[in-house]
Amino acid sequence: MSLELIYLLASAVLAFIYMLAQAGAYRLQHGVIDQDPNRDREEQPNMLTARAGRALRNFHETYPIFIVLVVVVEFTGRSGLLTQWGAAIWFWARASYLPVYVGGLGRIRSAIWAVSAVGLALILAGILI
C-alpha cells in the first residue's frame, strides 16, 4: 500500500475523530435525554460546541480535495516525494487543527490551515509535474 493510501486510510479515522469531537461537545452542552431528537428547538451552541462544529465543517471543505488527489495519484501511478510529503503535511496539519481550533488558538489555527493547503498543493504539483 502506498504512503498516500496509508494517509487516506488514516484520514478516515481522523474524520471520525472530528465527528466525535463535534458530537461529544454537542452532547456535553445539550445532554442526551432532555434534547429534542429532531433538533427542532435547538438552542444556540456554546463556545466549545460552536468551535467543534466549525472545525468539522472546515475539515469537510478540504477533505474531498485530499481524497480526489490521492485517488488520482494511485490511478495514475504518480506517487513520488511531492505527493508523499503533501499527503503527510496535509494529514498532520489537519490532525493538529482540531485541538488548536477547539482550544481557541485563532492565529495558530489559521497558520495550520495554510500548511494543510500547502500539502494539497504539493500533491497536485506531484501529479502535474
CATH number of the CATH domain containing 14: 1.20.120.550
Query: Can you tell me whether residue 84 is helix, strand or coil?
Result: helix
Number of domains in the chain: 1
Segments forming the whole domain that contains residue 31: 3-128
Chain segment 108-126, per-residue pLDDT in tens: 999 999 999 999 999 999 9
Longest Cα–Cα distance of the chain, Å, equals 56
- Residue 129 and residue 124: Cα distance in Å, rounded? 9
Do the Cβ atoms of 22 and 59 come closer than 8 Å? no
State residue 34's pLDDT score: 61
Most confident range (mean pLDDT) of 34-38, 49-53, 56-60 is: 56-60
Here the cell at position 90 is: 496535509
**Upper half-sphere CA count for residue 81 (Cβ side, 13 Å):** 0
